[in-house]
Amino acid sequence: MDVMLREFGRYVDDHNRTDAFARAIAEIVRPDDVVVDVGTGFGLLALLAARQGAARVYAIEQGPYLELARAIAQDNGLANRIVWVPGNSASVVIPEQADVVISETLGQLALEEYTVEYLFDARQRLAKPDSRMLPQELRLSLQPVEVTSLRSHWQTTYGPAWTDVAGFDLRRLRQAVLANEALPYVVHDITERDRLLGPGVEVARFRLGVDTSSRFLRKVSCPVETAGMVDGLLATFDVELSPSVTLSTHPSAPRTHWRQVVFPIVPARLVSPGDVVDFELGFHGNAGWSSVLAQPTSTGADPGTRGAEGSGSGA
Ligand SMILES: C[S@@+](CC[C@H](N)C(=O)[O-])C[C@H]1O[C@@H](n2cnc3c(N)ncnc32)[C@H](O)[C@@H]1O
C-alpha cells in the first residue's frame, strides 16, 4: 500500500486546507505568471494556479504520482498549462525562472518534510529574486493542556502497577524509564473534554524562501492561567499562505487533517494559575523532535512525582 496515496484521500476530505490554498492562490498568482509547485502530489495546487491564469506551472514531485496528476489535469482541461517535473526539487532544473513558488509540503508538525530547506533552495535556484512565496511564514506554538483520555493511557503504561510489582515499590525504576524513554508526540483531536490551561506561546518562526534551516532548540516558558493537570504541551502551527489567508491547526480554528499534536508530560503535573511550565523543544532533522520538561519551580507540583523527561521523534 502507498501511504502517501492514502494521505491524498485525507487531503481531499480536508476542505479547510483546500479552501485556504484556493483563496491564497487567487490572491498571490497573477495572470501569465510562471509558477513552481514544490511537491505537487496529485497536482491540486498546480491545478489551482493554472485555473488562476498562470502561463505555466512547473509541478515538481519526487513520488510516483505524476501520471495520475497528469490524467487529472487532462480530466479538468488544464493539462496544457502544466509541465510535470519528476524528482526532488533540490535536484531538478527548469528552463525559466518562476514568478511564484507555491507548496504544501507540511508534515504532521509542519517541519518534517523539510519545507523550510526545500523552499529556500527552490526560491534561490528556480525563481526570480523578487519572486512571491506561498506559504510565506510558519509559526509553531505550545500551550499547557489537560487531556484526561491521554492521561489514562499513559497511567496504564507508567502508573500504579509500578508501586506493587510482586509487592515491591518500583517507582524509582519508573522514573529511570521515563527519563530514558523517547516519548513521541501524540496526534490527538482536542475536543471540549480537554482543557487549555494557558495561552499559546510561540516557540519558532520561519520565513519561507528566506530562512535556510528548520533546525532549532529553544526553551519556552508556558504560563498557566487555569488550575488543572497538565498532561502535555499542545503544539500547533499557523502557516501564513498570503497576506489575508492563514491556515491554523489550533483547536479554535476550523479542523484540518493535521489535527493536533501533544508532547506528553508523564506523570501529569498539578498546576495553579501563576505557575509556569518550562519546556525545551527542538527539531533536529532526521533525528526528529526533542522535548524536555524542566523541574517545577513553584508550589503546586504534584507531590511525590517528578516531571517526565522525554524526547519525542516526529510522526
Ligand atoms: C503533503 S503532500 C501534499 C501534496 C500536494 N502539494 C497537495 O497539496 O495536495 C507533499 C508531497 O510533496 C512531495 N514532496 C515533498 N518534498 C518534496 C520535494 N522537495 N521535491 C519533490 N517532491 C516533494 C511528497 O512526495 C508528497 O507527494
Domain CATH code at residue 144 = 2.70.160.11
**Among the atoms of ligand 1, which is closest to the Cα of residue 89?**
20
- The residue assigned the cell 530562512 is 211
Question: From the CB of 45, is ligand 1 less than 6 Å away?
Answer: yes
212 found inside a domain: yes
Q: Please say which residue of 134, 165, 181 terminates a domain.
A: 134
Q: How confident is the model at residue 1 (pLDDT cuts 50, 70, 90)?
A: confident
Note whether residue 311 is domain-resident: no
Q: Do 98 and 184 belong to one domain? A: no
In terms of C-beta distances under 8 Å and separation of at least 24 residues, what long-range contacts does 249-253 make, across chains too?
250/141, 250/200, 251/190, 251/194, 251/196, 253/16
Q: What pLDDT sits at residue 311?
A: 35
Tell me which of 45-54, 111-120, 156-165, 194-203 is least confident: 156-165
120 and 188 in a single domain? The answer is: no
Q: Cβ(262)–Cβ(234) under 8 Å?
A: yes
DSSP 168: B
* CATH number of the domain that residue 92 is part of: 3.40.50.150
Query: Cα separation of 73 and 224, whole Å?
Result: 50
For ligand 1, pick from 17, 67, 113 the residue to mutate: most ligand atoms within 8 Å of CB.
113
Give the atom of ligand 1 at the shortest distance from the alpha carbon of 17.
Answer: 8
The answer to whether residue 309 sits within a structural domain is: no
pLDDT(183) > 90: no
96 with 244, same domain: the answer is no
Q: What is the DSSP string of 29-78?
A: --TT-EEEEES-TTTHHHHHHHHTT-SEEEEEESSTTHHHHHHHHHHTT-
Average pLDDT estimate for 38-43: 98
Q: Of 110, 134, 158, which closes a domain?
A: 134
Tell me what pLDDT residue 176 has: 82
For residues 126 and 205, membership in a common domain is answered with no
Residues 129 and 152 in one domain: no
Asked if 96 and 44 sit in the same domain, the reply is yes
What percent of the chain has a predicted confidence (pLDDT) above 90?
79
Give the pLDDT of residue 303: 31
Residues 216 and 123 grouped into a single domain: no
Q: What is the mean pLDDT of residues 5-22?
A: 95
The answer on pLDDT for 202 being more than 80 is: yes
pLDDT of 182 reads 58
Domain that holds residue 34: 3-134
Mean pLDDT of the chain: 91
For residue 296, the model assigns a pLDDT of: 67
CA of 104 to the centre of ligand 1 (A): 7
Residues 256 and 225 in one domain: yes
- Mean pLDDT of all residues in 291-301: 64
**What's the pLDDT at 181?**
64
Q: 149 and 246 in one domain?
A: yes
- Dmax over CA atoms of the chain, in Å, equals 76
The answer to whether residue 175 scores a pLDDT higher than 50 is yes
pTM, two decimal places: 0.90
pLDDT confidence band for 10 (50 / 70 / 90) = very high
State the pLDDT at residue 300.
42
Does 307 or 113 have the greater pLDDT score? Answer: 113
Give the pLDDT score at 261.
97
Rounded-to-integer distance, Cα 281 and Cα 261, Å: 13
At what angle are helices 15-28 and 44-51 packed, to 10 degrees?
40
The verdict on residue 144 lying in a domain is yes
**Average pLDDT for residues 267-285, to the nearest whole number?**
95
Q: Is 310 inside any structural domain? A: no
Note whether residue 27 is domain-resident.
yes
200 plus 106 within the same structural domain: no
> Considering only CA atoms, which of 178, 158, 140 is closest in space to residue 289?
140
Residue 306 lies in a domain: no
Q: For the segment 189-201, what is each residue's pLDDT rounded down to a tens digit?
A: 999 999 999 999 9
208-251: pLDDT as tens digits: 999 999 999 999 999 999 999 999 999 999 999 999 999 999 99
Q: Where are the alpha helices (DSSP H) in the chain?
A: 3-13, 15-28, 44-51, 66-75, 115-126, 148-158, 171-180
* C-beta of 39 in contact with ligand 1 (< 6 A): yes
Q: 261 forms bridges with which residues in the sheet?
A: 187, 235
Ligand 1 within 6 A of 241 CB? no
* Domain end among 117, 134, 151: 134
User: What is the whole-number distance in angstroms between the Cα of residue 236 and the centre of ligand 1?
Assistant: 20
Q: Is 80 exposed, middle or buried (0-12, 13-18, 19+ CB in 10 A)?
A: exposed
Number of compact structural domains in the chain: 2
Q: Looking at the structure, tell me whether residues 164 and 297 fall in a common domain.
A: yes
Instruction: Dump pLDDT digits (tens) for 60-110.
Output: 999 999 999 999 999 999 999 999 999 999 999 999 999 999 999 999 999
113: Cβ–Cβ under 8 A, 6 or more apart, which residues?
39, 105, 106, 107
Whose C-alpha lies nearest to ligand 1, atom 15? Answer: 39
User: Are residue 155 and residue 125 in the same domain, yes or no?
Assistant: no
Instruction: Look at residue 302 and tell me whether its pLDDT is greater than 90.
Output: no
Is 312 inside any structural domain? no
